[in-house]
Structures are given as C-alpha cells and as structure tokens.
Amino acid sequence: MLKLNIRKLSGAACLLLMPALIFSGCSLSGGNTETKKTFFAMDTVMTLTVYGRKSGTADAKMANSEIAAEKAAARILEIEAALSVTSDTSELSRLNASENETAEASDDVLIPLGAALGIAGETGGALDVTVLPLVRAWGFLSKEYRVPSREELDTLLQNVGYSRLRISGREIVRPPGTELDFGAVAKGYAAQEAAELLRGEGVAGAVISLGGNVQTVGQKPGGEKWRIAVADPLDPDHGTIGTLSVGEAAVVTSGGYQRFFERGTVRYHHILDPKKGMPAENELLSVTVVCDNGTKADGLSTALFVMGFPAAMEHYKLQSDLEYGGFEAVFVTKDRRVIVTDGLKQSFAAANNKYDYE
C-alpha cells in the first residue's frame, strides 16, 4: 500500500538522496516487470513505480518499465527546471525578475497557470499564484523562517492578486512587481505530465508519487484497484486516516502539517491566505482531492484548505452539479472529524479510531 503523504525530507536526508537516483527493478509473473525509481526534486522525495514488460517479450507494444520510468523522471526534472522559484535561471524566475509587462511563456508555464487562474476564479481567490512575495517574506523559500510584521505584509499585499494577470495567446501580461509561485500546482502538473508520458509509452500501470501528490496510470498487476493511504495530519509520519481504492486518478493532499515552523507555542504553516498574507487558519487539518487531472487536484486541494470547512464543502456541492466540475474530497477537521464526499464513500476504508467518520 502506498503512503500518500511523504513529508519533506530534512536537509541531511536530501543530501544523501540527491547525488544518485535510487533505482530498482524486479520481474513479475508473465514477463511483466516492476521498476521503482526514487529521486529528489521540487523539494520532496519522488517515487515512480512502473509496470511494463521486458523488451523482446510477447507483447512488443508494452513498454520497457525501466526506460519509461527514466523518461518520466526526466520530464519531471524538466518541469522543475522551468518552474522552480529557488533557482534564478528557471523560466518562472526570469519572468518574475523581468521589468517588462509582457513575456512569452512556454506550455510548462502557460498550462499550470491557466489551470490555477481557473481555480482562483472559482474559489474567490483562495488559490492565488501571485503569493510569492508573501511566501518569501515568511522564509518558506530560504528556509530561514520568520514572522513578518503586519505592516510588512500589508506592503507586500499591494503586489498580490491573481486578477492582475492576463494570458494573451502565449503571452503573460502582468504589472512588474507581480511575482508568480507555482508551489500549489507544480507537483500536480508534473505528475499529470509524467502520467501522460507513461501512458504514451504503453506501460501496463504506474504510480507516480510526488510528496503528497499521487497519480495512477493504467492497471495494477492482477487488475485490482490501486490502494492509496491518506496520512493522519496529527501523526503524518506514522499514521493514516484510511485508504482510498481508485482506478486511474490523481489523489492530492494539502495540509498545514506538510511544511511549517514554530515560534513559541505558535505553528506557522506554508499555505497562506492570499487576502491576509497569513497562514490560512480555519477548521481544517487537511484536504485530499481526488479527480482525473493532477494539476486540478493539486490546485483545488490548496484552495479548499484556504477556504476552510464548511465553505469547501459548499464549493464541492456547487461544482458537483456542473458537468465539468467533478472532483471528490476527504476533509479532516481540528475537531477530529473525517468527512468523505458522496462519490468517494464506497472507495474509502476508515482506519483510525481517533476520528469520527461522516
């Protein structure tokens, strides 16, 4: 069974993993192979598990799982190189630093940006990719954490607001000083792109697990559903709240427990309310979104976490009435309730007696 939320590694562990990609392969019955590839990217541990066939076996159309996994990892690293805001040379950093109002952008910027702006519009700006100045001020980029003053946040907020952005053809139009951060959608977009690549390679099945973002492709050997554990936000390293059984899907969790620092008795986490400039504080401990697109699942889980409960549930009900809006969710609240939306109730197995399940 897969653990959905792999917490971000400590600095020392990152160093151990970075020089080498961890790679393993084994044979399954019928000539099918399983390749597992673990590497560090986008500030998290990523694991690709790919089921394919050895080259030269009966079904020539089926992929060699090792080659397919290599290509998927390379694609994820390419997206990281475009979207990282901690590297000065990424496409996004160059765009942020530009004094020009308009900049031509690649698909790797335009596609996640388009998805994020759509979700921003639907959620009243709960998701807002212009939060970078705030993310920087709290120290979430440098990991030199600090609590900015109200005055500093108010000044920074003058440059925050997704409605300042426009996409015109391949150009992004923005007032200089508006800086973009794709932290809320980049892993989901990378998982989506890796899934599409693996499908194109003809793999039998795959699980793409990018630190809290899981996406499945095809079928598990044996044909049963993929089982994905949802982390217990009160004990994320060891506990789960239950297991989701899914076919092809993106399953993404956002929660304050995934990245935070403490000052005295106060915990400050990385998901910010774009209106206040402060970490979003409400009834929620975590939100897991299940849908057919990784970018959308990632953006929505962040947005619903900012909206809080029950506003996020109201948004679910509104969207589930729309043909194109379909997603499902699992909400975990501070008063220890786990609320599973209707379309997931049959697929969710509860596993933690700390919580009341609804």
Interface mask toward Mg ion for 279-318; x: CB under 5 A: -------------------x---x----------------
Nearer to Mg ion, 82 or 287 (CB): 287
Give whichever of 124 and 325 is closer to ligand AMP, judged by the CB atom.
Answer: 124
Asked if residues 35 and 50 have their Cβ atoms less than 8 Å apart, the reply is yes
Query: Which helix (H) or strand (E) is 47 found in, with range?
Result: strand 44-53
Phi, psi of 206 (to 5 degrees): -165, 150
d(CA 50, CA 118): 32
Q: Among residues 228 and 271, whose Cβ is nearest to ligand AMP?
A: 271
The answer to whether residues 230 and 351 touch, using CB atoms and an 8 Å cutoff, is: no
Alpha carbon separation from 58 to 63, 65, 256 (Å, rounded): 12, 15, 48
CB nearer to ligand AMP: pick between 160 and 340: 160
Site for Mg ion in 181-220 (CB under 5 A): 184
Minimum CB distance to ligand AMP smaller for 203 or for 230: 230
Least spacing, CB of residue 85 vs ligand AMP, in Å: 8
Q: What is the CA radius of gyration of the chain?
A: 20
Q: Which does 274 bind (CB under 5 to 8 A by kind): Mg ion, ligand AMP, none?
A: ligand AMP
Q: How far is the CB of 73 from ligand AMP (least distance, A)?
A: 20
- Please list every residue from 27 through 86 that binds Mg ion, using CB under 5 A: none
Nearest to Mg ion of 204, 280 (CB atom): 280
- Residue 65 or 302 having the CB closest to Mg ion: 302
DSSP for 54-121, written as a single string: -TTSS-TTSPPHHHHHHHHHHHHHHHHHHH-SSSTTSHHHHHHH---SEEE--HHHHHHHHHHHHHHH
Residue 333's binding partner out of Mg ion, ligand AMP, none, with CB under 5 to 8 Å set by partner kind: none
Among Mg ion, ligand AMP, none, residue 271 binds (CB under 5-8 Å by kind) = ligand AMP
Residue 131 touches which member of ligand AMP, Mg ion, none, C-beta under 5-8 Å by kind:
ligand AMP
**Min separation Cβ 75 and Mg ion, Å:** 19
129's contact among ligand AMP, Mg ion, none, with CB below 5 to 8 A by partner kind, is ligand AMP
CA distance 349 to 96: 44
The partner in contact with residue 148, picked from Mg ion, ligand AMP, none with C-beta cut-offs of 5 to 8 angstroms by kind, is none
The residue at minimum Cβ distance from Mg ion is: 302
Instruction: Kindly tell me which of 52 and 236 has the beta carbon lying closer to ligand AMP.
Output: 236
Spatial CA neighbour of 306 closest among 143, 166, 126, 163? 126
Looking at the DSSP assignment, which residues form a beta bridge with residue 205? Answer: 51, 218
Tell me how far, at minimum, the Cβ of 353 lies from Mg ion, in Å.
29
Burial bucket for residue 118 (CB in 10 Å: 0-12, 13-18, 19+)? middle
Binding site for ligand AMP (CB under 6 A): 127-129, 131, 135, 140, 181, 183-184, 254, 258, 270-272, 274, 298, 301-302, 306
Taking the complex as a whole, the smallest distance from the CB of residue 82 to ligand AMP amounts, in Å, to 16
- The minimum distance between CB 106 and ligand AMP, in angstroms, equals 20
DSSP 8-state class, residue 200 = H
Question: For residue 310, is the peptide bond before it cis, meaning its omega torsion is within 30 degrees of 0?
Answer: yes
Q: What are the residues facing 279 on neighbouring strands?
A: 272
332 and 285 Cβ atoms separated by less than 8 Å: yes
Query: What is the nearest approach in angstroms of Mg ion to the Cβ of residue 306?
Result: 10
- Give the DSSP H or E segment for 181: none
Give the containing element (helix H, strand E) for 14.
helix 11-17
Q: How far is the CB of 254 from Mg ion (least distance, A)?
A: 5
Q: Which residues bind Mg ion (CB under 5 A)?
A: 184, 298, 302
